[in-house]
Structure 1
């Protein structure tokens, strides 16, 4: 099984009490922390704020002792069944999940941004490809086929290059967004998953 890291090269990790089944916390692992966890007896995470490995419990003494580990069906999330030495949460609560949701607050709004939005957009594009709703621009692209979609990618790339060359920073984000959108449509039409592109990008940083 090949582990699928996210766009940041990390793996979401859920810690669960092996004795009670209670979900204790959620963190992230990179290849280094995963290796230390599997080879040892205690859980290591990756701290995104410090950009370094994090030995859970090193300061508090509340270590998470690994009993079993399971990947989900997509191999992009790991479940850690652990025996905790103490409270998993820095607040002193046994679990980090103690704030019960009692309906959405008045000021709630979705603010998805960053690399995750590409995955959401690709999922929407795949839905359009399957359902082919009338009046959808994405549907019209799929109906015209790969050659036309590829042509649109070239057109949008050209407009992006022009905006950059004349320092039109106001238009540049929109042009890049259009280029990325049509590129995702091209991937879907070609039967290629974005993960294949992410893998190539990871190779580029070596």
Structure 2
């Protein structure tokens, strides 16, 4: 049954003249586009079998396993193809930076685009919330790497009881800051609380998008 499903998929994909299809890799947490490479039938098969990304190098004319040398592997969470079946979209948990330059994404070269005042304001407002996705991605990276001496490593290693203790402590600090009517202190303490809540969400493998959907549902209802 698995072989049949794989064969059906391989037949559905629109391969180019070289037997390749472009594959866009996106971080499942931050939604950042990390890189673009090419897959052939064998690399797609290996990707599905190992649940890590494999590609075909056009310059070296060989298969390559992403992160085989650097250790910056990509665990596949979901794989889609577009309406014309000629482009793959691979959602991954990225371990370490995706780009060989050390950048998190290969798409770090920004082109200046003139914007209206309304567009600038919208970007600023959006970026205020994008920090949650960035923070979620950083925490996910810390969870995978468990860097020695890092505070998040300490929390994850100690487990959910320690994380919950910190959530409780930070909640109390928020209450005290609010009672003191000190907004600067309150800003600091709420930030601490939100960080520890996001560590808790990662420990429970609960994406923040689920929380956003619940909030949106409550708002609409």
Q: What is the TM-score of this pair, normalised by structure 1? A: 0.49
Which one has a larger percent helix, Structure 1 or Structure 2?
2
Q: What is the TM-score of this pair, normalised by structure 2? A: 0.46
